[in-house]
Amino acid sequence: MALVSGILRGLGRGLRSPVQRGLWTTTSRQYSEGTVTGNENNGQSVKVPSSARVVICGGGVLGTSIAYHLAERGWTDVVLLEQGRLTCGTTWHSAGLVGQAKDEVEGSQLVAYSRQLYKQLDKSHGVGWKECGSVIVAQTKDRLTFLQRKHAIALATGIESHLISPEEAGKLCPWIRTDDLKGALWVPGDGALTPPDLVSAYTSIAREKGVKILEGVKIDQIHTKNGRVSHVTTSHGDINCEYFVNCAGLWAREVGAKSEPNVKIPLHPNEHFYLVTTPIQGLDPLMPVVRDFDGRIYAREWSGGLLAGGFEPRGKPVFHNGVPDKFEFQLLPEDWDHFQVLLDPILHRFPCMETAEVRHLVNGPESFTPDGHWNLGESPEVKNYFVAAGMNSMGVVGSGGIGKHLTEWIIDGEPSINLAEHDILRYVPHHSNKKFLKERVKETIALYALRFPYEYWETGRKLRTSPLHTRLEVDGAYFGETNAYERPIYFARPDDELGDQYHPVKGSYGKPPWFDNVKEEYWACKERVCLIDMSSFSKFEVKSNGSEALNFLEYLSSNDIEDNVGEIIHTGMQNNHGGYENDCTIVPLYHNHFFIISPASQQTRSLAWLQRFQPKDGSVQIRDITSAYAGINVIGPHAQQLLADVTDISTTLKDFKPMTCKVINVGFASNIRAMRLTHGGEDGFVLYVPSEYALHVYDTLMAEGKDYGIRHAGYYALKLLRIEKFYAYWGVDLTTHTTPLECGRDFRVKFDAGDFIGKEALLKQKEEGISQRFVQFLLEDFNVDTDVWPWGGEPIYRNGKFSGTTTSSGYGFKLDKMVCLGFIRDYDEQGKSVLYKNMNQFVLDRNAKYEIAIGGQMFEAKVRLYTPKAAYSTSEPVFIPVPSMNK
C-alpha cells in the first residue's frame, strides 16, 4: 500500500488541467479556446443590450439551464453574462454523474426530470449521455437500511431500482470487491454525461430561441429601486432588467455583495478531488457508476480507465478571502496526503487499481453550503433577485430540474414541487459569516457520511443561546440546533452518566437511545408540570399610529384579525396559490400593536413575507424581537396553580381562558406576556419574558414548583405530544404547497372577513375540490424495540398504490402506538392529482387499506382525520367512520 501510494504521489507531480491534458472532449476543449458554437462574441467586441427582462449571471451548467428553460417557456428577452468563458468555473471539471435515488420524493422527482432531459438533449445535440446504471453498495446493516429507504422512495417516484445481494452486485460490476458487503442498490436508469457538452446543448437551443449569451462580461453592480431589481452595471455598460439570477457558482457570494442591500448567499469553496487513470484492460465502457458511501467514494468509467473520487470526512476550504476573477479553467495543486483517506477505499473497492497508472489527480474547487442543500429561490433582501448556487458538487445532476423549477419560481411565483429544504429563506444572517462558513463546510463536504435521524452538525455550535442556556446545561440538558439556536431536546435522568451534551450518543434508525428520558418528560407534561425553554421561537412586533397595522395584518392573514386585545389568533398567511407562507400566532396587545410568534426555523421567511408587503409610506413598523424575549412553556395539569402561586392575577379557566393573553408579573419581574396555550395540546401557559428577567422567572417557577413535582422537558417530548394530538407544524407538515382546506384548517379561513392574499385561490379550491388531505396514521403491528422507526418522508400506499408521504412521526405513549402524520393523494392513470370535493370520504373509505414503507417493510396503518374539535381539544383526535364508497 505504501509503495502504491508513493507511485501515485509521484505520478501526481507536474499535474496539468484536464483541458491541457486532453481529459475532456473536443467540444469542451473548444470552450477553453473561446470558440464555443453559439457565442454571441465570436471573437468580436461585446456589446450588451440596453434592456432585458431577465439577466443571468454565470455561464455554467445552472445559468445555461435556466436560460434554456426560460426560453422553453417563451421568455426569450434574456441575457446570460459570463465574466470568463462558458463552463470555466467548476462545470468543466465535474465528474458528470447522474444518480436518481435521493432521500426524499421531491429530490428524486427533480433528478428524474434531469435524466429525462439529458436523454432528450443527447439525441438532439449530443451531451455524452451514457446510461450505464449505478450500484450503491452497503458495508453495514445501517447503510443497508439507508439504501432500503432510498429504494422505497425511488419506487414511489417511478424510478426503477432493485435491492440486490453482494453476489448480484459483483455480477453487475465484476471490477469491485464484494466480500465485505451486506447488499447493494441497483438503479439501471442512472448514468453519466460530459458536462461541457450539456452546456453546449443548453446554450445552442436558448440562442436559437433568442436568448443572448455573452462571454467576457463582468457584472459590477446590481441596482435596486423600491426594494426590487432595476438594472445591472457591467464592464460593458448598463442593462435595465426586471429579474436577476445569480448563478455565479464560486463567485456567488461576491456577486451577492454587489447589490444594495447585499444579498447574503451562504456558501464557501472546498477543494474537491478525484483521480483519473489511463485505460485499464478489460474495463467495460458501460461499467456501472459505483458509489461506496461507507468508503466515501464514487467511480465511473472514463476513456477506458477509472475516474474515482469522493467526499472526505473533513474538507479543505479554499479561497476564504475571495475567488480570483481570472480563476478560469484552472485547478488547484494536488494534495495526495489529503486524498489518502479516499485513495485507501478506492484501492480496497477496486483491486484493479493496485496496478493501474494514474494520469491525473484533479483538485477542482466546489462550493458547499452550511447544511449540504442547494441555495435556491428568491432572496429575502431584494425582490426579483433569484439565486441558484451552492451545489455541493451536485450541480450537473440537479441542473435540469433546478432550471425547470427556478423558471417556474420566476414566472409562476413558486416551483411546482416543494423545495423548502433548498429555499434560501431557510437561513439567518450568521450563516453568511465567512469564519462560520469556513468551519462548517469542512463538515458538510462529507456528503456520503451516514447521518441518522435527530443528528446535528458539530461545527458552529453554542452560537445562539437563550438566557436560560447555562442553567439548563448545568441541569443536564442535551441540545439540538435549529437555525443555529441551541434548544434543549431532552434531559439526562438523575442516574445517567452525563455525556457530550451537544453531540449525544450515536444515532440509530431504530429505537433512539433517549427513548426512556423523553418518556418520563412526556408523562410529566401530562400528569404534573414541566418547563420547556421555547426562547428560539421567532417573535415580531407590528405597530402603527392608527389602524394601518390592523389593515396590514388582515390583508396578509386568512383568519380574521380583530383588535380584540388579549385574544390569541392562530392564522395562516397564504401565498397567491393558497399555500402557507407562514402559520403563526398573532396577539393584539393594543388596537395598533400586535405580537406575532412563528417557528424558530422560519425566522427569515416570516420576516421577509411581512416586509414584502409593508407599506412604503412608513405607516407600519415591523421589528424582529426574537432575542428580546425568552420563552418558557409551563405545561401540565398543575401549570394553572403554579402560575397562580407566582403571580397576582387569577389563572382559573374562567378568568384566564384558553387562547388568550395577559401581561402579568411573575415574582419580581414585570411585563411578561402570558399566553394560555402550550403547542402540545396540554393545559398550560407560554410566558414570553423580557430577556433580562428570564433567569429570575425561571428560578421562581422552579422553586415554587417543587411541591407540584416540577421538572424539565425538551423539544422531543413536545414533539411527541403534538404529533399524538394531531397538531401540524409549519415548516414540517405545512409548506408553501399545502393549503388550509387540505389540512383541515378551513375553519380558520374567514372568507367573509374581507380580502386577503390567497383568497381567490382558496375559493376556487373550495369550489373545485382538493387534491390532498392531511391525516394521522397509527401503525399496526409495529415493534418499537426492533423495527426501523419512521422519521418523515416515508411513502404511503393506499390499496397498494403510492398515495403520498409522511411529514413527521413519533411514538405516542398514551396511544401506545407509532404515530405518523402525512398527506394522502389520489392519482389518475397519467399520474396527475385527482380533485375531490369530499376527500374525507375517499380517505376514510372502509375498503381502503393503508400501508407505510419503513426500513424495507410495509406496515399497515389506521387513518384518522384532523377536525376542528381537535384543534383546541385536550382529548385525542377522533376516528370518523364513513360508509364504503363502493356501496
Can you spell out the DSSP letters for 192-227?
E--HHHHHHHHHHHHHHTT-EEEES--EEEEEEETT
- When pLDDT is averaged across residues 258-279 and rounded to a whole number, the result is 98
CB atoms within 10 A of CB 641: 15
DSSP 783-796: -TTTSPPP-S--EE
Residue 829: band (very low, low, confident or very high) from pLDDT cuts 50, 70, 90: confident
What values do phi and psi take at 132, rounded to 5?
-100, -5
pLDDT of residue 44: 59
Is residue 677 within 8 Å of residue 658, measured between CB atoms?
yes
User: Residue 12 pLDDT more than 50?
Assistant: no
Exposure string for 22-44, b = 16+ CB within 10 A, e = fewer: ebbeebbbbbbebebebbbbeee
Question: Which residues does residue 192 pair with via DSSP β-bridges, in sequence order?
Answer: 97, 130
Measure the CA–CA gap between 650 and 655, rounded to whole angstroms. Answer: 6
What's the CA gap between 673 and 668, in Å, rounded? 15
Q: What is the pLDDT of residue 511?
A: 96
Q: Give the mean model confidence (pLDDT) for residues 147-175.
A: 97
Convert 856-877 to b/e letters by CB count within 10 Å (16 or more is b).
eeebebebbbbeeebbeeeebb
- Per-residue pLDDT band for 869 (boundaries 50, 70, 90) equals low
Rounded average pLDDT over 563-576: 94
For residue 791, which of 876, 742, 723, 877 has the smallest C-alpha distance? 723
pLDDT at 862 over 60: yes
Most distant CA atoms of the chain, gap in Å: 86
Instruction: Average the pLDDT over 32-55 and give the result.
Output: 65
Q: Which residues contact 502 (CB under 8 A, 6 or more apart)?
A: 456, 458, 461, 462, 478, 479, 486
Give the helix, strand, coil percentages of the chain, each rounded to 5. 30, 30, 40
Q: What does the pLDDT look like over 524-548, one tens digit per residue?
A: 999 999 999 999 999 999 999 999 9
Residues 793, 153 contacting (CB under 8 angstroms): yes
Indicate if the pLDDT at residue 755 is higher than 60: yes
3-state secondary structure of 11: helix
What 8-state DSSP symbol labels residue 265?
-
pLDDT in tens, 320-348: 999 998 999 999 999 999 999 999 999 99
Grid coordinates of 516: 426512556
Residue 762 pLDDT > 50, yes or no? yes
The mean pLDDT value for 73-89 works out to 98
Tens of pLDDT, residue by residue over 479-521, are: 999 999 999 999 999 989 888 999 876 789 999 999 999 999 9
Percent pLDDT > 90 in the chain is 90
Give, in order, the Cα–Cα distances in Å from 136 to each of 4, 99, 171, 223: 26, 10, 14, 47
Of 740, 538, 698, 720, give the one whose Cα is nearest residue 624: 538
Per-residue CA distances from 307 to 112, 192, 299 (Å): 23, 12, 5
Instruction: Return the pLDDT at 884.
Output: 31
Residues ≥6 apart with Cβ < 8 Å to 520: 493
* Average pLDDT, integer, range 386-400: 98
What value does the mean pLDDT take over residues 459-488?
96
Q: Which residues contact 793 (CB under 8 A, 6 or more apart)?
A: 103, 104, 105, 153, 805, 806, 807
What sign has the CA pseudo-torsion 635, 637, 642, 645?
A: positive
Cβ atoms 271, 250 nearer than 8 A: no
User: Rounded mean pLDDT of the chain?
Assistant: 92
Neighbours of 189 (CB within 10 A): 18
Contacts of 562 (CB under 8 A, 6+ apart): 569, 588
| pLDDT classification of 438: cutoffs 50, 70, 90 | very high
Question: Shortest CA distance to 815 belongs to which of 725, 716, 717?
Answer: 725
| Mean pLDDT value of segment 118-128 | 98
Q: Strand 78-82 and strand 51-57: pairing? A: parallel
Computed on alpha carbons and rounded to an integer, the radius of gyration of the chain in Å comes to 28
CA distance 568 to 553: 14
- Decide if pLDDT at 866 tops 60: yes
Q: 794 near 853, Cβ under 8 Å?
A: yes
pLDDT of residue 831: 85
- With CA atoms as reference, report the closest residue to 127 among 96, 102, 153: 96
Q: pLDDT of 199-232, one tens digit each? A: 999 999 999 999 999 999 999 999 999 999 999 9
Question: Would the CA dihedral through 570, 573, 579, 581 be positive or negative?
Answer: negative
Q: CA angle, 720 as apex, 714 and 722 as ends, to 5°?
A: 100
Please tell me the predicted confidence (pLDDT) of residue 34.
29
